[in-house]
Structure 1
Amino acid sequence: MMKNINKTWDHKKHEAKLYENWEKSGYFKPEVNIEETTRTNTDNAEEKGLLATDYSLQANKNPFVIAIPPPNVTGQLHIGHALFATLQDIMIRYHRLQGEPSLWIPGTDHAGIATQTVVDKMLKKQGINRFEIGREKFLEHVWKWKEEYGGKINQQLRAVGSSCDWSRERFTLDDGLSRAVNEAFVHLYKKGLIYRGEYIVNWCPKCGTAIADDEVEYTEQKGKLYFFKYDKDFPISIATTRPETKFGDAAVAVNPSDKRYKEFIGKSYNICLDGVQRNIQIIADRSVDSTFGTGAVGVTPAHSAVDWRMGEEHDLPRVKVINERGRMTEEAGEKYSGLKTAEARQKLVEYLHSNNLLEKEVELDNNLSVCYRCATAIEPIPSLQWFVKMKPLAEKAKEAVESNQIEIIPKRFEKVYYHWMDNIRDWCISRQLWWGHRIPVWYPKSKIKNQRSKSGTDDSATDNYQLEAKDIYVGIEPPKDIENWIQDEDVLDTWFSSALWPFSTLGWPDETADYKAFYPNTVMETGYDILFFWVARMIMMGLELTDQVPFKTVYLHGLVRDEKNRKMSKSLGNGIDPLEVIDKYGADALRMALVVGSAPGQDIPVGENKIRGYRNFSNKIWNASRFVVLRVSEGDLREGEIGKFEIQDIEYSEKLLTEADKEILKKHQEVKAKVKKYLDEFKFSLAGETLYEYFWHTFCDIYIEQAKRQLETEEQKNKETEKQKNSGTEGQKDIENFDIEHSLKIENCKIENSKLPQNTKKILIKILSESLVMLHPFVPYVTESVWQELREICPTLSESIMISKWPSVSE
């Protein structure tokens, strides 16, 4: 009983044991809400858990399904993970309590660049070069590392209280998911939605791979705008922030309405830029801003996506002057070949200055494009890559939101989504890495012109495998005469496999029982910063490959900031380590701090003071429950009577209910209705705030204090009876006077004293038990611990609060 344990909630003592019991008991599986006689044996669920049960029919309710945004296998739990884990766990626990078969699918992402970089660094410390040991040996090291270190984040997600069905855990490089990736690639290729072509890509010289447009980040820096002429005979001055790329210029573009340059349009000039000969055409293009710089722009088709377009329209040559290592090529001339771009820039500016070609330099704030993974400056270069045609996919994805097949919360992000869909570019899906899903394309050895070097960064990379479509093999399985073929060396962008996550995790392309029962998913909860990275692509792939939307609702959370609303960073020293906080204050406190005060799509201020405050709330729940359990156990209300108690069992008459009873029961009904409404509408903060205020300030501060006085009647009467039991008639009169006095004392309600305490205990148990159930999605640990104590005096309560029923709301 609670009287024998601590007077404060000891999270360290309870949390790990409670979670272990939940997981062992199978409470995280959707089968938990199906009658025992109709459940399917799930002992082999680890072997992909493809169950032969239609859950929705057996439970007589639609399932509620979430697929976790798979954290990188390299990841350590950070505050962002804790936020999404809390929000998703609230949803899952709430719908589980509604009696719905609820499935939360966990898993991790192989994280191509990140994982390869981690293992590469580890091997370098051991004196091992991946190019020397080769691809196969290197991948053996990666898999070994993954098995040893890759599961840490899932253990850390458990600490937050994540009630995922771990028997269905997936990894993006699982055999099943790899097959799904190949199936998707082949499907898209056969429909003409995947093609191989040369185009300007965002190249990271450090990672040695192309990255997608939405993987490029921008950092503001001080830069310079250089005004100069190619040589003294050229009639027009140009302005650029990157003079070193001008060795690859094929034209100068001006706005056709700019009167300054009309006489030059259509002409061409031979120029010599520090020894490099070029022919420069003067072309007209309406995209040129006449007010920027000189109003004349050097066009470098091989090193700018905008210039690439101009080059195609005007049939301009593409001269590649920067290679995949971020160094100047021979096309930049002997003086510059092999130099880093920054070195070449400085050298060329010195040349321009010494030859009186440099007119001026103007400092300006410049947005530098950098790699999202390593923050290295991106080099736009032409490269032969695999692409997905996005416009046909985007049209269907846009229509799915416009027609309300998918709801985005908050609604304002629909505009962002539509903007992406309307301005979408083809998606470069090939990556020059070894770790990932190898592109399922094979080339005949007899027709290969040149094989890419091990590093994938040689200047001739764009010449590799330039074969016609009829010459290559694209398939889910390798060609039968594999000895005559060589597979494409590249792997697919990590986001390609992630885009299949809602259905590949359920067994697609096979129509497994899980796929039939749980697809489409119900909700996709994730950060607003990856609305296009991931959410939009899942919608496109879901519609194309399954003919269904992959989920019905998209809930976008914001970023976690500090109490001063600053971004958390190492330099500011304001970061929060969720594992340290959980150890110090408990998971329940962290969960409440992350949810209460938040709003979808808005950043969330969180600090230690806020977390500490919700630690006090856990103590409040513990102590209030301790009082109720101790007081109820002192009386004679036992043997399941309380467990069956419903509000209609109380006679609403002045003889049984005090004004305090009536008020708390009325308020309780209001709170139940409000909280259910808020949770159904994804208003998690309002639901949490309502429960916090009600439990602390109404139930504890007001009703429990009144209940103490109502319970005093029985206690004092028992004491008087013991004192006067041998006092004869006088003693009996004293007891009668005691009854009369106290029946008038409690809010002037003339209640028979023998029934009042029992009735008060019933109300206390009802309010507490139902409040615990409503609080459970937010603070699962303390509510489960109290529930187990409550079962000591209410044995008909469910064996765990996780499988209890959500309290009904009276009409």
Structure 2
Amino acid sequence: MVIIKELTLKETILIDTNGRMNENAGEKLKGLKVNKARETIIKLLQDYGAVDKIEKIKHRTPMCDRSKIPIEIIPMDEYYVKVTDIRDRLIELANELEIIPEQHKQILINWLKVSNDWPISRRRYYGTEIPLWYCNNCGEPLVPEEGKYYIPWKELPPEGSKCSKCNGDKFTGDTRTFDTWMDSSVSALYVTKYLYDKEFFSKTYPMTLRPQGIDIVRTWLNYSILRNYQLTEKLPWKTAWIDGMGLDEHGEKMSKSKGNGVDPTIVIEKYGADAFRFWAVSEAMPGSNFMFSESRLQGSSKFLTKLWNVARLIKQFPAQEDRPTITESDRWIIEYTKKITNECVDAYKKLNPYLPANKIREFIWNVFAPHYLELIKARAYGEGFSEEEKESALYTLNSTFKELLLLLAPITPFITDTIWRELYSKESIHYQNITNFPEEDNTILETGEKLMEFNKKVWNLKKEKKISLRDKISIEIPQELKPFEKDLIKMHNIE
């Protein structure tokens, strides 16, 4: 087909719309199906003595995604939307559009560079009908008034319709449908009430965000930009967020035809919606393919169980509204929480939930629960500490946990809201704002790293001695950790 176009040759159509050879194929082939015609051609060549050899070769054949039957391409008269005339402007618009992640912008631009006019009519049974009738006398199309959904293959044209060319009044309706992207491409106009509510449209268009999959960049994203520009001369949104493909456990694309898809309702019933949501955003960076793994989904479920258990512990200690004098141990976790919050907020602003999910899990699982909670547990209970030191622990424990819940709420809305209502307020967590912290104090964070190394050293030493973590141990506390000394003595039962 490419060679024919380059040489501007006229095609000879040999196959009809029923998949059989037509009269152009000759009497011996006419009426045969394609495969049978190929067999007949080979036999005819052999009979003529024109066959030198027969061998198997590999070649590319277009196949139907669902039936896996080879596709025979034949030219037909169809309706097109003009693209080539404005291709350069569409490329300019693509460069103006913010696309997350940035590297996926090139997919769109590469496609636009080679795109041709868009065939929008389809010979299918299901879809949006093309609202046209044709004059039985001269074939001139009849376009009805807008505002009504028409079914031309089933309905007569509006009463009193006349052909604009010959004044005929007998028509035959178009039996074709539109390409599915003709509807989808104007979704931004539909939700902003284009042509129906001018005030609403002026306030909502262009929209802020288009989230979509990477597999339909050349279709939905491309055609949406095209049609919205043709109608409004504007981009339909400020940002397009492109997600990757869902793969099965073997790395294969999930599809109905392969039968390797995972029913999310079954998974959610088993593990819960929050676990599924957390797994989905923590598995891959935006734009990257993600592989389904039930074992990793179980890991997300275990993390939320950990969060729930931390909440049960904290529930024992009443929240302190007024900030007391803060101990060094508490100041460390406050600064660490500031650091996590600032990093997560920055990632959220960039529409990247992958980083918050993993940073919060890492913090709760490997810092907050094993190190900080164990460090201040005795002080929170008031065992051997002053009331002022206890109040510092209670205030810090609750204030930092509040921030962690707020950071997790966009990803796991149900468990965070339940914990929030039980611990802090009857008003939903989703009405609250994440705190805007100043930059954290890196000096105490560096000391905190040494604190955690010391904790690991003590735990390993007790393991080597085959004694319980509650048993007494004799070990010197490093000089730089002296501000934490009282908490460390209680935590490790240091003699």
When normalised by structure 2's length, the TM-score is 0.79
SS of residue in 1 equivalent to 2:99: strand
User: Partner residue of 2:341?
Assistant: 672
State the alpha-carbon separation in 2 of the partners of residues 543 and 569 from structure 1.
32
C-alpha displacement at 1:566, in angstroms? Answer: 3.8
- AA paired with 2:186? L
After TM superposition, the structure 1 = structure 2 runs for residues 361-440 of structure 1, keeping only pairs within 5 Å, are 361-372=54-65, 374-402=67-95, 404=96, 406-440=97-131
The answer to which structure, 1 or 2, has the higher relative contact order (CA under 8 A, 6+ apart) is 1
The amino acid of 2:434's aligned partner reads W
The 5 Å alignment of 1:467-486 reads: 467=140, 472-473=142-143, 475-476=145-146, 481-482=160-161, 484-486=170-172
Pick closer, same or farther for the CA change 1:571–1:390 going to 2, 3 Å: closer
C-alpha separation between the residues in 1 aligned to 2:400 and 2:286? 30
Q: Give 3-state SS (helix, strand or coil) of 2:193's partner.
A: coil
1:531 aligns with 2:228: no
Distance 1:694 1:628, change over 3 A: same
Structure 1 residue matching 2:53: 3-state secondary structure? strand
Kindly indicate whether residue 419 of structure 2 is the aligned counterpart of residue 782 of structure 1. Answer: no
Q: Report the alpha carbon displacement of residue 434 of structure 1 after superposing the two structures with TM.
A: 4.1
Whole-Å Cα distance in 1 between the matches of residues 123 and 250 of structure 2? Answer: 42
* SS of structure 2 residue aligned to 1:777: coil
In 1: Cα distance, 2:374 partner to 2:3 partner? 72
Q: Quote how far apart the aligned CAs of 1:710 are.
A: 0.8
Shift of residue 756, structure 1, vs aligned partner: 2.5
Q: Which residue of 1 aligns with 2:399?
A: 766
Give 1:650 shift.
Answer: 2.7
Residues 233-286 of structure 1: CA distance to partner in whole angstroms, max 9, x if unpaired? xxxxxxxxxxxxxxxxxxxxxxxxxxxxxxxxxxxxxxxxxxxxxxxxxxxxxx
What is the SS of the residue equivalent to 1:371? coil
Matched with 1:809 is 437
Q: Does 1:319 align with 2:46?
A: no
Tell me the distance in 2 between the aligned counterparts of 1:435 and 1:365: 35
CA contact (8 A) 1:434 1:491 kept: yes
1:569 and 1:524 map into 2 onto residues whose CA distance is: 23
Q: Report the Cα distance in structure 2 between the residues aligned to 1:420 and 1:760, rounded to whole angstroms.
A: 58
Distance 1:306 1:809, change over 3 A: farther
Give yes or no for the alignment of 1:341 onto 2:34.
yes
What SS is found at the alignment partner of 2:212? strand
Unaligned runs of 5+ in 1: 1-303, 448-464, 717-741, 744-752
Task: Specify the SS of the correspondent of 2:377.
Answer: helix
Kindly, what percent of the aligned residue pairs are identical?
Answer: 28
The match for 2:278 is 592
Distance 1:309 1:335 in 2: 31
Counterpart contact for 2:274–2:415, Cα < 8 Å: yes
The letter for the 2-side match of 1:442 is W
In the alignment, the residues of structure 1 paired with residue 205 and residue 256 of structure 2 have an alpha-carbon distance, to the nearest angstrom, of 41
Q: Which deviations, in whole Å up to 9, do the C-alpha atoms of 1:337-358 show, x marking residues without a partner?
A: 2211011101111211232212
1:698 equivalent in alignment to 2:367: yes
Q: Given that residues 337 and 403 in structure 2 are in contact (C-alpha distance below 8 angstroms), is that contact kept between their aligned partners in structure 1?
A: no
Q: Which amino acid aligns with 1:338?
A: G
* Matched AA of 2:30: S
C-alpha contact 1:442 1:473 (8 A) present in aligned 2: yes
Q: Distance in 1 between matches of 2:372 and 2:346?
A: 24
User: What are the within-5 Å matches in structure 2 for residues 636-655 of structure 1?
Assistant: 642=320, 645=321, 650=323
Query: What amino acid sits opposite 1:390 in the alignment?
Result: V
The structure in which a higher percent of residues are strand is 1
Contact kept, 8 Å, 1:394 with 1:540, in 2: the verdict is no
1:191-210 correspondence to structure 2 within 5 Å: none
Residue 307 (str. 1) matches residue 14 (str. 2): no
Amino acid at match of 2:146: I
1:522 counterpart residue number: 208
1:83-119 deviations in Å (ceiling 9; x for gaps): xxxxxxxxxxxxxxxxxxxxxxxxxxxxxxxxxxxxx
- C-alpha spacing 1:504/1:582, structure 2 compared with 1 (3 Å): same
- Tell me, in whole angstroms, the C-alpha distance in 1 between the residues paired with 2:67 and 2:90: 31
* Cα 1:429–1:512 shift into 2, 3 Å: same
1:350 aligns with 2:43: yes
Query: Distance in 2 between the 1:798 and 1:344 partners?
Result: 76
The structural deviation recorded for 1:411 is: 2.3
For residues 760 and 428 of structure 1, the distance between their equivalents in structure 2, rounded to whole angstroms, comes to: 68
- State the distance in 1 between where 2:380 and 2:143 align: 82
Shift of 1:778: 1.2
| TM-score, scaled to structure 1 | 0.49
Residues 445-460 of structure 1: matches in 2 within 5 Å? Answer: 445-447=136-138
What secondary structure sits across from 1:762 in the alignment? helix
The structure-2 alpha-carbon separation of the partners of 1:524 and 1:306, relative to structure 1 and needing over 3 Å to count, comes to farther
**What is the distance in 1 between the residues matched to 2:396 and 2:323?**
9
Looking at structure 2, the residues matched to 331 and 774 of structure 1 have their Cα atoms a distance apart, in angstroms, of: 69
What is the rounded CA distance, in whole Å, between the counterparts of 2:405 and 2:113 in structure 1? 48
Q: CA RMSD in A?
A: 2.4
Displacement after TM superposition at 1:764 (Å): 1.7
- State the AA in 2 paired with 1:481: G
Distance in 2, matches of 1:620 and 1:328, equals 68
Gap change, CA 1:495 and 1:574, over 3 Å in 2: closer
| Runs (5+) with no aligned partner, structure 2 | 148-156, 162-168, 440-495
Q: Equivalent residue for 2:353?
A: 684
The AA in structure 2 aligned to 1:754 is E
In structure 1, what is the equivalent of residue 492 of structure 2? none
2:376 to 707, 718, 728: 707
Q: Which is further off, 681-690 or 357-366?
A: 357-366
CA shift for structure 1 position 562: 3.5
The secondary structure found in structure 1 opposite 2:381 is: helix
Q: How far apart, in 1, do the equivalents of 2:145 and 2:398 lie?
A: 64
CA shift at 1:376, angstroms?
Answer: 3.3
Output the CA distance in 2 between the equivalents of 1:570 and 1:502.
28
Map residues 152-191 of structure 1 onto 2, 5 A cutoff.
none
Pairwise CA distance, 1:754: 2.0
Q: Is the 8 A contact 2:94 2:108 kept in 1?
A: no
**Match in the other structure for 1:442:** 133
Distance 1:322 1:703 in 2: 76
CA distance in 2, matches of 1:442, 1:343: 38
Range with greater deviation from structure 2 (670-679 or 370-379) = 370-379
Once residues 440 and 575 of structure 1 are traced to their aligned partners in structure 2, the CA distance between those partners, rounded to angstroms, is 37
